[in-house]
Amino acid sequence: MGLGTKLMTLAPKAGAALLSAGGDVASGFDVTTIMSDSVKTVQSQAFSVLGVVVPAIVLITGAVVGIKFGIGWLKKIKG
């Protein structure tokens, strides 16, 4: 769940806590926990994307380099 989604789900609770409670608002809305969870979520999503993208880039780069060296080697053999 992203930060924006979490904030949207917690906004009504936080608003109600601000209106009803005079001073004890911090117990219902912990920004540190929300930010920590959001950073962990972004980190896991970034690593999952990198887990797909990096092998594809390595494969494509290896194929391009292999083809270039192969063509150069064939031209060298041909004379």
Residue 63 CB-half CA count within 13 A: 6
Burial class (CB in 10 A: 0-12, 13-18, 19+), 17: middle
Per-residue model confidence (pLDDT) at position 30: 83
**Six-digit token string for 28:** 């219902």
| Domain spans, the chain | 3-78
Q: What is the pLDDT of residues 29-79, one digit of tens each?
A: 788 888 999 999 999 999 999 999 999 999 999 999 999 999 999 999 987
Q: What is the pLDDT of residue 29?
A: 76
So what's the pLDDT on residue 21?
Answer: 53
Does the pTM exceed 0.85?
A: no
pLDDT confidence of residue 16? 59
Model pLDDT, residue 37: 92
